[in-house]
Amino acid sequence: MQMLAQRNLPPLLTRADGTPVKTAADWRARRSEILSIVEGEVFGRLPGRACGISGDIVREDNVYHHGGRAILLELRVTVTCEGRSCSWDVHCSIPKSSAPVPAFLLMGYGGSRLGDVPCEEIGERGYALIALDYRQITSDDGDFTSGLAGLVYPDGQRGEHDAGKIALWAWAMRRTLDAVEALIPEIDARRVIAAGHSRLGKTALWAAASDERFFGAYSNDSGCGGAALARGGMGELPANISTAFPAWFAPAYGEHARDVDAMPFDQHFLLALLAPRCLHVASASEDMWSDPLGEFLCCAAVTPVYELLGETGVDENAPLADDMPGVGGALSYHRRPGTHCMTRLDWQRAMDAFDKAIAR
Ligand code: GTR
C-alpha cells in the first residue's frame, strides 16, 4: 500500500468520534457522516423548496428504431416551483425484450454528441439508454437565475453550502429516474446506472452517490472533483477547478481548495457512497489533466469499504496496463489508451463490468 499510504487520506472506516467501523451497520452510520460532508462541502445542498414534478411521453416509435429491435421513447420532464417551471427532454432507446431491461441513464452533452454514444451496440448488449442534455437543465456557467437554477434560487444568490451546477444536474438525473420508474415498465428501474463523461462523470457519481436507488455508476474521465484523489494528484487540482468553474461546486469547496491537505474529505468519500453497489471508473492513459493514477488509487482507497460489505474492489498492487479487462469486482477500474473522451471501448468495458454485477 505504498503509493496510497503516501497520500495521507482522511480515513473512511473511522467515525467522526474516533470509533472504528467494523460492521455493515457501523458503515451505515459512517456513510451518513460522509454523505453530509460531500453534500455540504463539495457539491452543495439543494434548498428544501416544494417542487412539483411531472413526466409525459411525447413521442414513441415501436417500428423503425434500430431496425425494429428497439423502442424509441421521448419524454419531457417538468419541474414546477412556486409558479416557475423548467423542462428537459429525455431520449430513451430500449431494446425489445420479454423482461424489463437494465439501463444507463447518461447525462450527456446533447445534440450531435449523442451520435458519439454507441446506442445500437448498447441495445444489442441488452441495456436501454436514457440520455439527457445537461444544458437543457441549467446553463453551464455562473448564472443561477435561469433553468433549474432559477427555480431553486429565485434571487440568483447561493449560500456557502448550497448546490452548484453539478448538484443541479445530478438532481435532474434523480428526477428523471422518478419519471422512468413511473412511465416506462420496459426498463427495470432497480437496475439503472448513472453515467457521464468528464464534468458529467462527476455529475453521474454524485447522482448515484446521493440516491441509492441507482444500481451503480459509470464515470468516464471524471478527474478532479470526480474519481481522482486531490491529495498528491496531478493535472487539474481543486485550486484550478474551483477557480475556472466555481459554479459547479458549493462555494465552500473553493475555500477547501486553498489547502488540499487540510480538507476534511478527499474524493474517496464520494466513491465510498456507492458501496457496495456497482461502480465502474474509466480513465484514459494520455488524459493527464484527469489524473488516471489518482482515479485508480481512489478506487483502491475505497476497496476496504467494498470488502467490509462483502464485495470486491481494486487491489492497489494489481498489475495495471492499458485496456486490461477485469480489474476489480463490484468496484472496477479500466484505463483505455488515448485521450480525454468517451469511446466505444470505454462503453464496452463498462458493460462488461455491469454484465457481471447484473448476473450476480
Ligand atoms: C475541463 C475541466 C475538467 C473536465 C472537462 C470537461 O475543462 O477542467 O474538470 O470536467 O473540462 O468536462 O470536459
User: 101 pLDDT exceeds 90?
Assistant: yes
Task: State pLDDT tens for residues 34-63.
Answer: 999 999 999 999 987 778 899 999 999 999
**Three-point CA angle 134, 138, 139, nearest 5°:** 90
Question: Which atom, in ligand 1's list, is nearest to the CA of 240?
Answer: 8
**Mean pLDDT on 160-189:** 97
Domain boundaries, the chain: 1-43+215-360, 49-194
What residues have CB less than 8 Å from 247, skipping those under 6 apart? 140, 141, 142, 143, 144, 164, 165
Instruction: Using the mean position of ligand 1's atoms as its centre, give its distance from the Cα of residue 341 in Å.
Output: 11
Provide the pLDDT for residue 320: 86
φ/ψ of 47, rounded to 5, equals: -60, 140
Q: Identify whether the C-beta of residue 192 lies closer than 8 Å to the C-beta of residue 217.
A: no
Q: Looking at the predicted structure, is the pLDDT value of residue 201 above 60?
A: yes
Per-residue CA distances from 52 to 83, 87, 166, 208, 280 (Å) = 10, 12, 21, 22, 33
Whose CA is closest to 350, among 182, 204, 143?
204
For residues 258-263, give the mean pLDDT: 98
Ligand 1 pocket test: pick from 42, 166, 199, 241 the residue with the most ligand atoms within 8 Å of its Cβ.
199
pLDDT category, 114, cuts 50, 70, 90? low
For the stretch 277-329, pLDDT in tens is 999 999 999 999 999 999 999 999 999 999 999 999 999 998 889 998 878 99
Average pLDDT value for residue range 170-179: 97
pLDDT at 270: 98
Lowest mean pLDDT among 81-95, 196-210, 291-305, 315-329: 315-329
User: What is the arithmetic mean of pLDDT over 9-13?
Assistant: 98
Checking if the pLDDT of 255 tops 80, the result is yes
Question: For position 1, what pLDDT does the model report?
Answer: 46
Percentage of the chain surpassing pLDDT 90?
A: 91
pLDDT value of residue 325 = 80
Q: Is the pTM of this model over 0.95?
A: yes
pLDDT confidence bin for 113, thresholds 50/70/90: low
Q: pLDDT band for 111, please (50, 70, 90 cuts).
A: low
Average pLDDT of the segment spanning 207-216: 98
Q: How far is CA 341 from CA 69, 199, 253, in A?
A: 28, 11, 26
Distance 219 CA to ligand 1 centre (A): 13
Question: Mean pLDDT lowest for which of 66-80, 108-122, 149-163, 327-341?
Answer: 108-122
- What is the pLDDT at residue 112? 57
Section 179-200 average pLDDT? 97
CA 58, 181, 92, 282 dihedral sign is positive
147 CA distance to ligand 1 middle (Å): 21
Mean pLDDT to the nearest integer, 118-127: 97
Q: What is the DSSP string of 269-307?
A: HHHHTTTTSEEEEEEETT-GGG-HHHHHHHHHHHHHHHH
Ligand 1 neighbours, Cβ below 6 Å, are 198-199, 223-224, 236, 241
Q: Which CATH number fits domain 49-194: 3.30.360.10, 3.10.20.740, 3.40.50.1820, 3.40.50.2300?
A: 3.40.50.1820
Section 216-231 average pLDDT: 98
Contacts of 48 (CB under 8 A, 6+ apart): none
| pLDDT tens, residue by residue, 132-143 | 999 999 999 999
High-pLDDT (> 70) share of the chain, %:
98
pLDDT of residue 280: 98
Ligand 1 mean position to 235 CA, how many Å?
11
Average pLDDT, the chain: 95
Q: Nearest Cα to 279, choosing from 232, 237, 327?
A: 327
Which ligand 1 atom lies nearest to the CA of residue 197? 12
